[in-house]
Amino acid sequence: MALRIGEIAPDFKAESTQGIISFHRYIHNHWAILFSHPSDFTPVCTSELGAVAKLKVEFDKRKTKVLGISIGTLESHRRWIFDIEETQETTVNFPVIADPHKKVAYLYDMIHPFFSHNDTIRSVFIIGPDKRIKSILIYPGNTGRNFHEILRMIDSLRLTDGFKVATPANWEYGDDCFVLPVVKDEELATTFPKGFKIVKPYLRTTPQPN
């Protein structure tokens, strides 16, 4: 059965390029990104792992741990990482999980038969400190993921997890937010001391609370 937003992310233990990973223990009280690749030594995924390595400091700022996963073996991962570091001019500074028996792939519904009966689909799971799945993104094999958009999504999820706001289309960190409908008009002044604007009864904005 496919996983859904709001569910507890399945726990697992697996080998990785940085040692044994016990997933829930590894997350601890952080946010986490688990992103899968069809297989090792593929061009799009090579660029993606390089991109994530270069953005690692941005994930760290957001207290977010990143983990890649492929159904390749640990030895295959290590050889692939050598290529990634050479061609993308970076250091792969996060664990890549080896899942040759597809244990995690099936646990997270990463095998889609219309895509491949053998390879994992290119999924992204954003998981909160409460171990619940906050977002699921699925990309086709030939379209590289935009990890700046994933960072933007983490910013939105972290914000809306702590305040009674929603983020509008194309929101960027620092932009105004929408006030959630559950907040009554008479509560606006105390809930949002930075100010607010009522455009329509259902359309109320406030400066980013944090």
DSSP conformation class of 45: H
CA nearest to 104, candidates 7, 16, 25, 19: 16
Average pLDDT over residues 76-82: 96
All domains of the chain, ordered by start, with CATH? 13-145 (3.40.30.10), 163-206 (3.30.1020.10)
Interval 196-210: pLDDT, tens: 999 999 999 999 999
State the Cα angle at 66 between 61 and 68, rounded to 5°: 155
List the beta bridge partners of residue 170: none
Local confidence band at 50 (pLDDT 50, 70, 90 cut-offs): very high
Q: What is the mean pLDDT of the chain?
A: 94
Token readout for 11 is: 């726990």
Give percent above pLDDT 70 in the chain: 95
User: 99 — phi, psi (to 5°)?
Assistant: -135, 55
Local confidence band at 117 (pLDDT 50, 70, 90 cut-offs): low
* Model pLDDT, residue 179: 98
Q: Which residues contact 6 (CB under 8 A, 6 or more apart)?
A: 132, 133
40 burial via Cβ count (<10 Å: 0-12, 13-18, 19+): buried
Catalytic entry in 45, 84, 105, 154 = 45
In the sheet that holds 203-206, the strands lie side by side as: 165-166, 177-179, 203-206, 197-200
Helix runs in the chain, H state only: 23-27, 43-54, 56-61, 74-88, 103-107, 147-162, 188-191
Local confidence band at 111 (pLDDT 50, 70, 90 cut-offs): confident
Q: How many alpha carbons lie under 13 Å from residue 164 in its C-beta half-sphere?
A: 14
Within 10 A of 168 (CB to CB), how many other CB atoms are there?
A: 12
State the Cα angle at 136 between 130 and 139, rounded to 5°: 150
Give the integer Cα–Cα distance in Å for 144 and 196.
38
Known active-site residue 45: yes
DSSP conformation class of 82: H
Average pLDDT over residues 133-153: 93
